[in-house]
């Protein structure tokens, strides 16, 4: 341990952290290349060849050229997931069967929470409420 000072240990840890960080960035760029709807097959192949043959330069050029598109793709993907979740909640709340005995108040409370959070519109809330009460 005498031949490896503490400062060298910190230096080694920093380089290891940067290498792992670069690997994550490389995988994120490759994933974005594959899921880009605005790139054709040849465009995806070209970017992939550049990123694989010249990894550091390829990732840097990709981030400069298409970094903004990466954010747009992430945002669009998050919106799709959010919309799918909201549709699932609406379907689950709107298609529930008749309320079990004694469970109507609990279902009404859940519906009120969904309406308050904005996952149900007034019309959907009224329909679901009528199902629970009727």
CA distances from 52 to 17, 55, 125 (A): 21, 5, 53
pTM of the prediction?
A: 0.56
> Does residue 27 form part of some domain?
yes
Count the domains in the chain: 1
17 pLDDT exceeds 80? yes
> Does residue 127 form part of some domain?
no
> Does residue 101 form part of some domain?
no
Domain that holds residue 32: 1-67
> Does residue 48 form part of some domain?
yes
Q: What is the pLDDT of residue 105?
A: 76
**Based on C-alpha coordinates, what's the Rg of the chain?**
26
Place of tokens 């050229």: 65
> Does residue 1 form part of some domain?
yes
Of 60, 124, 64, which Cα lies nearest the Cα of 90? 124
> Does residue 91 form part of some domain?
no
Residue pLDDT, tens place only, 26-82: 999 999 999 888 889 999 999 999 999 998 999 999 999 998 888 898 898 899 999
Give the mean pLDDT of 100-121.
78
Q: What is the pLDDT of residue 95?
A: 55
Q: How many CA atoms lie within 13 A of 52 on its CB side?
A: 9
Q: Give the confidence band of 99 by pLDDT, cuts at 50, 70, 90.
A: very low
> Does residue 114 form part of some domain?
no
1 pLDDT exceeds 60? no
The encoded tokens of residue 127 equal 């329909």
> Does residue 5 form part of some domain?
yes
């Amino acid at each position: 341990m005498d031949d490896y000072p503490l400062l060298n240990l910190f230096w080694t840890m920093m380089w290891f952290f940067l290498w792992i960080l670069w690997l994550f960035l490389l995988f994120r760029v490759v994933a974005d290349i594959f899921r880009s709807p605005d790139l054709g097959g040849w465009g995806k192949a070209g970017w992939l060849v550049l990123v694989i043959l010249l990894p550091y330069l390829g990732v840097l050029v990709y981030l400069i050229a298409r970094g903004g598109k990466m954010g747009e793709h992430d945002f669009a993907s998050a919106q799709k997931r959010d919309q799918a979740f909201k549709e699932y909640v609406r379907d689950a709340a709107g298609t529930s069967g008749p309320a079990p005995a004694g469970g109507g108040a609990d279902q009404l409370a859940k519906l009120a929470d969904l309406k308050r959070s904005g996952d149900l519109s007034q019309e959907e809330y009224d329909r679901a409420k009528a199902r629970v009460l009727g």
